[in-house]
Structure 1
Amino acid sequence: MTSTLPGKVRPEESPYDVTSDLGRLRLARAGLLACMQFPTIAIALALVSGGNGFVAPNTGVSRKTALNQSLRNLIINEKPRSVSSGSTPPAAIPEIPLPPAPATPSESTLSKDEVRSLFELWNQALATGDSRIVASRYIEKPCLLPTVSDVPRTDYDSVKDYFDSFLLKEPQGTILEGEIYTGDGWAVDAGIYEFTMGATGDKVKARYSFNYVQENGIWKIQHHHSSVMPEEIAMGKPITEDEVRGLFSLWNNALATLDPKKVADRYSKTGVLLPTVSDTPRTDYASIEDYFTNFLKLKPQGEILESHVTIGKNWCEDVGIYEFSMGATGKKVKGRYTFVY
């Protein structure tokens, strides 16, 4: 009797002998490899039939021997290296590696909490007082319809320009109520917020909508619409004396920018300016801007020393005495004033 080690093949035994346990195991593994290599069963059958078939008629070869030989030819012929017909195939079939797992797609849909946190990022940018940081929260080509400007802002420079003035009020926002909608690659947050102006203590409510999209992998503001509450406008909500004096602060803050356009923006289209150091009345935007082009070279900052406020329906007046400190020269100048709003 010839002894064999486990897993070894006796010379007279085919490695794919279907009558032995080891042969059946090799056959199963070979079948798996063949299925991986041939796209259709028809190709596999064609190759098998090309290897003299499962039964060789009139040759005197047994069915068992023919089957083993056909399977042997199939495996040998499909090896990556050439093997002669008389060579003995290796006993072990190489393991078939699994394909790599697909990469996880990037997150493109936000939760409602994540959408609301985008407002907090914008609000924190306001708190820095830096218009560049606020403008960077918007995409490259945004649409900002601001609360206190008639001009849509559609690029970085115009968005920054708006916040140059708005940030002088030291605003901080709080969402009072809002609805959030999300989709694949976009989100909307719309509702009512309220700003507290640190410079004056005033509180202002407004309607808002933020449309967010991803730009270079970062969620930013695509569209921002902010408008005052329409019912308060329709009802002609009366202004208080403190709010009237707050209008002087807005004008004074515009002086601090040293930009004559921002000062001229504080005047109505039919405004009249009788200036301190010019004999010429200024009655349109261009002439008002011209006056402040020279006056701002003194770097003036004003302070009201005495004020008398009168309030009527849709108008108000502040009359009194103010004093300017000229940053360029250090001089102080007192003057009488009248503002009609």
Structure 2
Amino acid sequence: KMSLNHASVDKLEVCEEEQEDAPDDDEESALITDHRVKFSGVDVVIYSDLAQSQKKRRRPVGSCRPSGAATAKDAPSRTDAFLAALVLIPAIVLSVVAIAQPSYVVSLLPKSTAQYDPCRLDVKEQQKEKMYDLAQQNFGEWNAALKSQDAEKVSSLYAKDISFLPTMSDEFVVSDEEEEHYFLHFLLKHPQSIIEEDKVQVLGTGAYMHTGLYNFLVNTTATNHITIQARFSFLWHNFGKKWEIMHHHSSLRPALEAPHAPGTVMDEMLRAHSASLASLDRADEPLLSALAADTSDPLPDILLPVCHLDMSKRLRKKLFWRARRNFAAWNAALLSLDPDRLSALYATDVSFLPTLSGEFVVSDRDEERYFLRFLLKHPAAAIRADKVQPLGSEAYVHSGLYDFELNTTAAGERVAVRARFTFLWRRFGDDWRILHHHSSLLPNASAAAIDGADADWAAA
């Protein structure tokens, strides 16, 4: 119980002499009202406690004593109030700071718990600008690691639970050992990179997707080097001690041309990619449509904030099947040849690096315009290998390898090509939408060109 023996309430008399004849039902409210009028600055909790205490044990009429008259019983109450103030004042200050600067509060947490940052979703514009600056800083650190020629230093920027689709390899890298092995070879080319155009999509205070176009300067021989135009997707996450890369997709930039134009360089490259591939079986179309239409959910929703990584195996399995179902819905939209249906799966604040265009699409209008052309090729897709990385129960990254079957001529000549994909899906209410999509052809033929086997194609 908090004491009322304070200088501001010295004249308060704790008695019920004037309330003796009041009805029992009104007794508590009468005491509360009386105290409110006389001392409006006192916390209402004190009134309630006082009223309830007086109601339980009435003091005999005429036994009023001023609150300033201390008794032996009052001494520990003052000590309790002082100790309560020591606890409450810092708590109030920290609460105010948490509302204004949540990331600062997270930085004060012990390192073992900071990785479980709930990733506030109500990120303000000012905080988004700070996250963009952070993205530039983290990219600069990654580029500096490349220049150091130290594979171990580069690898230290990647999380252990990694998914990586490299610029110059057909491998789908899903472990830190494989990722470090790739950089041991890639760094022999002495790569350096410069961002040409980019976008940062903030997923909370602890994660963001950084995507766009960059140029690589790499050595082809000991004395010669070339500049490669490429695209990138980095998913960075704050693991408490530092920011690390959870997903990285880097690809050569396709030529800026209309994807449906017959007889183009792009179509010739598609035919080269398809030489060793069998056609996809379009008999799967009814099955894919049925899977996409199935809205049943075998597991109940257990909501975790976006970028919360502490998930059970059950939730990871749930999101894996959610990812497969969402992919089936996306593929069914391709097979429908309906650009509106396909575009409806993408969020308004989209970033998109298409398979057959060098454009960097950052609006839903540009994305829909691309699909108007792309659907003329009657595309169909099938996953060959994939990985799902949950970001809480409301978002995930789905990446891997898939096969495309496409028309390359107006006559309907079809080829099968192999490609890589990155989807960042996020739930908006009852619907899932694609925030980011990066699709690229396997770089095997392109890598050969970069190594000097076809310098003219690389220059083009």
TM, length-normalised to structure 2: 0.37
> Larger Rg: 1 or 2?
1
Higher relative contact order (CA 8 A, sep 6+): 2
Structure in which a larger fraction of residues adopt helix: 2
TM, length-normalised to structure 1: 0.48
